[in-house]
Chain A
């Protein structure tokens, strides 16, 4: 029994390999500085795909050289939602490339409304930062979402 629990915990740790620690320190450890982007968010909602323009996303590098968090501001996951949310995806793995950086995260519970919000657990996050452009593809719960934005103030 103990073995089973231990194995499950290890598996869970591997599966949620994204680091939840975050620190909005602007020190550039990965070579990618904390940057704000403005762009289009595309949500594949159950009622159909819809775009929202002028969505701000903040890329925040952390003290760890290979980790970052991303905050999406005023996101709506359904056109009928009477509100928008600020959602932070912590513990994103960052790998520097020749052109910029690749972003990945297998699974993480995002932060919203003052704490962890498991209903919107993020899975399958992939993205890249190239030439002041941020592109993301991820699932919030069962809702696939993508983002394409350009750095602002550059």
Chain B
């Protein structure tokens, strides 16, 4: 839920935090739930105010990579990808390891994470498991965004920029009465040429609208409503084939695009009683999206995937906190629940080359040539998969903070129940013939329908102690738990149907292979929650213009959700609770802001390894967890020159991450790479013109790696981007 952020912070929360805390009035509702001031939170925390977000060109979540120590959100695929790695946690599929809250509203669907941030007044990141207060998926941390409030003292702003790759971004935000509105339009021609189609594969067009309404009908009541919509249509999946130590250009022949409509409305009510503050939050979340993907990413017609979903969800949360800030015991108790229904249509279509290479070659390899062989007359074989997935969650949580002068003890627990149900309705139909015995094609239909369900209860405790050594320094130690929700492997159903179809074809022929086409069944598509225990020691120091923070952690992950090769012959992989891992790490931030100079260094080291993991083909125990950077680094320096009545502002930064292992075995690796970014702006009155650049040295790194049907693919990092823009305060 929400917490009142006090202006009188004892210590800085991060090198970015000073700007934030100076501007937050008492009544501002932030998305944080902690029942204490930001400076007294016993977790690693970074706060970025609006000005910092703008100066660093942070308009999307992945731009926070490396700026937040240990956070890595690679930019690849499409908006739905949003793969997040934090402190060695994370995976490219299914539920994220970071909870996202906007004005206290939990964003349930990862596909809605990547949206434009115009009108965001601050971004706060809590690192480490935050499951006790934030529940599911807050295993690696929580990113909390605050939107522009009608109570803010903010001028209307118009911002426009244009640059490389036909990039256009236009945004506006303004306050009118009880309303704060913001909107963004973004266009890109795309960066990567699909050489097969001779057009860019990743153009983007998106429009985001945000309307926050807030009123104080009495001294004790604050009510607000936040409506967010995001509509976008884009290409994507710029994956090039890696062959003979050469990365080939993107070249795929089938459709690759993603379109999304997201509508989220959240209603909040706060009541200040004499002894208690009551916060109530309710939200309705709708998401309609449609992804089309050439799943072999080659110029051959092998197979395609569509994933069209229409989901609706509702959340409710009620928390009670003690009003008296001077009291020693500050308890907080809350209940949370949500219900989500997702209708998912996800057909895989095997095309001519795929029918030959995946289905027929596979089946015929088991039949002696002197007996005969199978043929299929269809040009395309659709494997239709329709799912109705219901997920529900009820949680009760309590946290008590004991504020005893220099010592602050926190103890909390959450009881979290989550259930899920999936109805699946799948069907394959094809026409086949066995040569020479069959004289004509025979139709074969393979239906697969049923229901699977699961229920889990998680107990998520938290214990921490914080010592205020002085007004400038705090030390803390935290033991906390987080979990990532379980779910169902919908993507493996095409494999199940593929194997069922080949078995049915053999059965229909009266042919029984010694080695059947084996696959998992629907019952095995469920996977359980992943849990993480985090032990952390940290400190924050604030002395004059110098601010530092440091945290060291040790995380043990159980029932880790990992992708494995299912038993039998399969073209896909599936998520399962296949292993355990551990992460050791160190994170440090240093900021020095004397006068008009601002500087900052963020650095992290993480050693994340499998304790045990066997994917069905190999044992990777002891190996590094793939995609997790060993180091992240962010170095930034900026200065504002006063020239008569104008301000010349210069900002330069280096972002680095790596080395990575791209796969579990570590055979493919990415070195530590650094990108240079910069911005130069001239401010005159209410006008600002600027030039900013990303990846100025055009560092040719890679952002993603995967294997499909034995082929290896990489996604390249975005090339140099230069943007020129203007910001006008009206």
Contacts and interface: CB of A to CB of B under 8 A. Distances in A.
Interface in A56-102: 73-74, 81-87
Contact of A114 (B370, B508, B512): B508
A114 to B, nearest CB: 4
Interface stretch (B120-128, B183-191, B282-290, B431-439): B431-439
Contacts of B514: 82-84
B511 A113 contact: yes
A96 B436 CA distance: 37
Nearest to B512: A84
B372 interface: yes
Contacts of B434: 113-115
A114 B433 CA distance: 8
A126 interface: no
Contacts of A86: 510-512
Interface string B363-375: 0001110111000
A113 B438 CA distance: 7
A116 B510 CA distance: 13
Nearest to B514: A82
Contacts of B371: 113, 119
Nearest to A78: B368
B644 interface: no
Interface residues of A, number: 16
B503 to A, nearest CB: 12
Interface in B623-637: none
Given A83-B367, A114-B442, A74 B509 contact: no
B303 to A, nearest CB: 26
A50 interface: no
A117 B439 CA distance: 11
Interface in A38-58: none
A113 B510 contact: yes
Contacts of A85: 510-512
A85 B510 CA distance: 6
Contacts of A82: 366-368, 513-515
A112 interface: yes
Interface string B509-539: 1111111000000000000000000000000
A81 to B, nearest CB: 7
A83 B515 CA distance: 8
B368 A115 contact: no
Interface in B424-482: 433-434, 436-439, 442
A116 B370 CA distance: 15
B367 A117 contact: no
Contact of B438 (A81, A83, A115): A115
A83 B512 contact: yes
A113 B437 contact: yes
Contacts of A119: 370-371
Interface string B106-150: 000000000000000000000000000000000000000000000
Residues of A contacting B: mostly: strand
Contact of B437 (A73, A74, A83, A112): A112
B437 A81 contact: no
A116 B442 CA distance: 15
A115 to B, nearest CB: 4
Contacts of B437: 112-117
B103 to A, nearest CB: 63
A77 to B, nearest CB: 10
A113 B515 CA distance: 18
Among A74, A114, A116, A119, chain B packs the most CB atoms within 10 A around the CB of A114
Residues of B contacting A: mostly: loop
Nearest to A84: B512
Interface string B406-436: 0000000000000000000000000001101
A113 B372 contact: yes
Contacts of A74: 512
Among B437, B442, B510, chain A packs the most CB atoms within 10 A around the CB of B510
Among B368, B371, B434, B513, chain A packs the most CB atoms within 10 A around the CB of B371
Contacts of A83: 366-368, 511-514
Contact of A112 (B439, B442, B508, B510): B510
Contact of B439 (A81, A84, A87, A115): A115
A117 B366 CA distance: 19
B368 A114 contact: no
Interface string B82-109: 0000000000000000000000000000
A94 B98 CA distance: 76
Interface in A98-136: 112-117, 119
B533 to A, nearest CB: 49
A7 B370 CA distance: 33
B367 to A, nearest CB: 7
A86 B512 CA distance: 8
Nearest to B372: A113
Contacts of A117: 437
Contact of A113 (B366, B370, B509, B513): B509
Nearest to B365: A82
Contacts of A112: 437, 510
A117 B510 CA distance: 12
B516 to A, nearest CB: 10
A15 B439 CA distance: 25
B469 to A, nearest CB: 74
A95 to B, nearest CB: 28
Nearest to A117: B437
A85 B372 CA distance: 12
Nearest to B371: A113
Contacts of B433: 114
Among A81, A86, A115, A119, chain B packs the most CB atoms within 10 A around the CB of A115
A74 to B, nearest CB: 5
Contacts of B368: 81-83
A78 B371 CA distance: 13
B677 to A, nearest CB: 60
A115 B514 CA distance: 22
A112 B508 CA distance: 10
Nearest to A82: B514
Contacts of A113: 371-372, 434, 437-438, 509-511
A83 B511 CA distance: 7
A86 B368 CA distance: 16
B363 to A, nearest CB: 11
B625 to A, nearest CB: 40
B655 to A, nearest CB: 56
A114 B509 contact: yes
Contacts of A81: 368
A120 to B, nearest CB: 10
Interface string A136-148: 0000000000000
Among A84, A85, A113, A117, chain B packs the most CB atoms within 10 A around the CB of A113
A119 B511 CA distance: 16
Interface string B347-374: 0000000000000000000111011100
A39 B511 CA distance: 20
A85 B513 CA distance: 9
Nearest to B367: A83
25 contacts: A73-B510, A82-B366, A82-B367, A82-B513, A83-B366, A83-B512, A84-B512, A84-B514, A85-B511, A87-B510, A112-B510, A113-B371, A113-B372, A113-B438, A113-B509, A113-B511, A114-B434, A114-B437, A114-B438, A114-B508, A114-B509, A114-B510, A115-B436, A116-B437, A119-B370
Interface of B: 366-368, 370-372, 433-434, 436-439, 442, 508-515
Given A82-B366, A114-B442, A114-B509, 13 more contacts: A73-B510, A74-B512, A82-B513, A84-B511, A84-B512, A86-B511, A113-B437, A113-B509, A114-B508, A116-B437, A117-B437, A119-B370, A119-B371
**Closest 7 CB pairs between A and B?**
A86-B510, A115-B437, A114-B438, A113-B437, A84-B512, A115-B438, A113-B509
